[in-house]
Amino acid sequence: MKRVGVLSLQGDFAAHGAAVERAGGEPVFVRQREQLGGIDGLIIPGGESTTMLKLLHYEGLMEPLAEFGRHKPIFGTCAGAILMATKVCSPEQESLGLVDIAVERNAYGRQIDSRVTEIEPDPEFEKRTAPGKLEAVFIRAPIIRDAGKGSKVLARYKGDPVLLEAGRHLVATFHPELTGDSRVHALFLEKL
């Protein structure tokens, strides 16, 4: 069984653990760098990226995570996607620089900052998982403004990428761990 680390410093790591189990993996709740040696891939959950950054520094995990990502797959959702980006704005913020995307934090504004909606995934996503629309939960989500040439957009919302694969990594600006649909986690497990 694939051992999937879930970074558990802050945010909705428990929901990711349950989603990993539903997708057929074994979740490992990662709080210390020593644990990175025993996992096949890592999920960085949603939460508050600024707070997570502080905790990552406090735990001495910034460089170990960046190094892990140079060899193994990481799946970042929402705040996790922000941490994985090469460029963060609104406001500018440090990041791990693992995925060639520019993200604008809290980009949907105050009026509609959170919502649940159905999106049509790219046919490639359905081919690699199973057919059907995706329920997308957005919570103070960022928008991916620029994506590097090597990346593959697997779903869009209002024209902007919301699920993107970049080499071994995967990022989502919505929260697939909060629905009963485990296809996005299953796709990540396929990459391990």
User: Is 89 an active-site residue?
Assistant: no
| Known catalytic residue at 57 | no
Count, residues near ligand GLN per rule CB under 6 A: 11
Q: Binding to ligand GLN by residue 47, rule CB under 6 A?
A: yes
Our CA angle for 121, 85, 95, nearest 5°, is 150
Please report how close the Cβ of residue 98 comes to ligand GLN at its closest, in angstroms. Answer: 16
Interface with ligand GLN, residue 49, by CB under 6 A: yes
Peptide bond into 91 cis (omega under 30): yes
Can you tell me whether residue 168 is helix, strand or coil? coil
Return the closest-CA partner of residue 83 out of 69, 72, 71.
Answer: 69
CB of 9 to ligand GLN, least distance (A): 13
Of 17, 27, 46, 69, the one binding ligand GLN by CB under 6 A: 46
Candidates 27-35, 47-55, 153-161, 176-184; binding stretch for ligand GLN (CB under 6 A):
47-55
Instruction: Return the residue matching tokens 């995925």.
Output: 99
Name which of 163, 159, 161 is nearest 126 in CA terms: 163
User: What is the Cβ-side half-sphere exposure of residue 122, based on CA atoms within 13 angstroms?
Assistant: 16
* Closest CB to ligand GLN among residues 74, 78: 78
Which residue of the set 16, 78, 104, 185 is catalytic?
78
Which residue from 14, 33, 35, 48 is in contact with ligand GLN, where contact means CB under 6 A?
48
Cα 60 to Cα 10: distance, rounded to the nearest angstrom: 15
Q: Which residues form the interface with ligand GLN (CB under 6 A)?
A: 46-49, 78-79, 82, 105-106, 139-140
